[in-house]
Amino acid sequence: MADLPVLDPVERRVLGALLEKQRTVPDTYPLSMNALRTACNQTTSRDPVTNYDEATVLDALNRLRDRELVRFVKPTGLRVVKYHQRLEERLELDEERAALLTVLLLRGPQTPGELFTRVERILVYADKEGVEEVLREMAALDPPLVAELDRQPGQRDRRWTQLLGAEPVEAAAPEPAVDREQVLAGGAVVRDRKVVAEYDRLAETYAVALGDELDEKPFDRWFLDRLAADAGDGQGLDVGCGPGQVAGYLAGRGTAMTGLDFSAAMLVQARELFPEVTFSQGSFTVPPMPRGGDPRDPGWSLVTGWYAFVHLAASELGPTISALTRVLRRGGVLALATHVGNAVEHPGELWGEPTDLDFVLHDRDAVVMAAEAAGLTDLEWYVRSPLRTEAQTQRLYLRGYRAT
């Protein structure tokens, strides 16, 4: 294979767009300037989204033509010039390698799973493993076309990148591991007393700030609606319920809910806001069983924990999720939402009030693995970005079922 061309970001986008359109819209290929500029700047299947003007695209085309990576074509009888990529010819790419390189040029580093999903518009692979096999073949070429990057904190799979960039590709240095056990420096009892004291003091402010927060959170409402449908006519337990907004929402969807919290002052707020819900004081590390129900299959139909784990150390995740799973009935659902990241944050204040609370951003994979280890099946999870009005952290939503 010839030496790899060194491409700047505009050149990579131009060649990626030409490669893509050659396969997805062959009837209109080669591309005119207008079509190529639109393809470079389209808002789907591109990362980052750009807004190159015609002069910028033409400058890149001229540079690529000088290196014989693009050919200018003037079809017979037409005045307009069209553009055809020659990168595929230069690098001796077969269909599979060309398809993967196209998506990497257009969207940056990606995991094999992401590539498997995104490349299907160009070429269909049988499975994710097939994608990974071709990537490894491309990495073994001399010179290599792609490289595998180090797995970053919070990522399950490694990402792959193309090697046609203007600078040598270096794997990002991993973030230093955060000590999520620091919240237990004085022991669990000391930590729990501080958390209860702080929430007792902040209860009224907390309730005012978050009592109606779900009104502005469409994803949370969608997720909770599905949980209410899962619970059916069974009973639900919301642990670390705070002022009761999640328990109240689920109760409004027909689930007989009980809210559980360690803070007596927070429960006062919850009972005032949601009188239709039963609220009890207690720790979710030793969760209660529901009253009544089927003695042959005791347990809750639904257990939820919305940001209830933010003060737990990493070592407490597994035992806590296992304890909550044990109080589910067979086929019951455990669902949680929590902040994820690589930090223990000390905000210093909440809603204008000073606080000494520590907030643990858990590792996403650690939460998922704790749920798997607890025996939950059919796990489903999502990560969403923060809303403008929220603390600026990523949020994990997870749902799983106790085996029947």
Q: What is the pLDDT of residues 240-256, one digit of tens each?
A: 999 999 999 999 999 99
pLDDT value at position 160?
94
pLDDT value at position 171?
46
**Residue 115 and residue 373: Cα distance in Å, rounded?**
29
- Are both 9-162 and 182-402 of the same fold? no
The CATH number of the structural domain formed by 9-162 is 1.10.10.10
pLDDT value at position 168?
45
- In the CATH hierarchy, which fold is given to the domain comprising 182-402? Rossmann fold (3.40.50)
> Contact at 8 Å (CB) between 309 and 317?
yes
| pLDDT one-digit tens code per residue, 352-372 | 889 999 999 999 989 999 999
**Residue 246 and residue 332: Cα distance in Å, rounded?**
18
In this model, does residue 113 exceed pLDDT 70?
Answer: yes
Residue 30, preceding peptide bond in cis (omega within 30° of 0) = yes
> Contact at 8 Å (CB) between 145 and 91?
yes
Give the dihedral of Cα atoms 303, 305, 306, 307; nearest 10 deg. -170
> What ranges do the domains of the chain cover?
9-162, 182-402
Average pLDDT (200-206) is: 92
Torsional sign, CA 275, 281, 285, 287: negative
Residue 69: half-sphere exposure toward Cβ, Cα within 13 Å? 23
Average pLDDT (218-225) is: 94
**Residue 301 and residue 255: Cα distance in Å, rounded?**
9
pLDDT value at position 79?
75
| pLDDT one-digit tens code per residue, 78-110 | 778 999 999 999 999 999 999 999 999 999 999
pTM exceeds 0.75 for this model = no
**Residue 64 and residue 11: Cα distance in Å, rounded?**
7
Residue 328: half-sphere exposure toward Cβ, Cα within 13 Å? 29
In this model, does residue 172 exceed pLDDT 60?
Answer: no
| pLDDT one-digit tens code per residue, 19-30 | 999 999 999 999
Looking at this protein, which amino acid is placed at residue 396? L
**Residue 120 and residue 103: Cα distance in Å, rounded?**
10
pLDDT value at position 178?
85
- What does the DSSP assignment read for 239-272? ET-TTSHHHHHHHHTT-EEEEEES-HHHHHHHHH
Q: Percentage of residues in the chain with pLDDT exceeding 70?
A: 95
pLDDT value at position 83?
96
> Contact at 8 Å (CB) between 155 and 139?
no
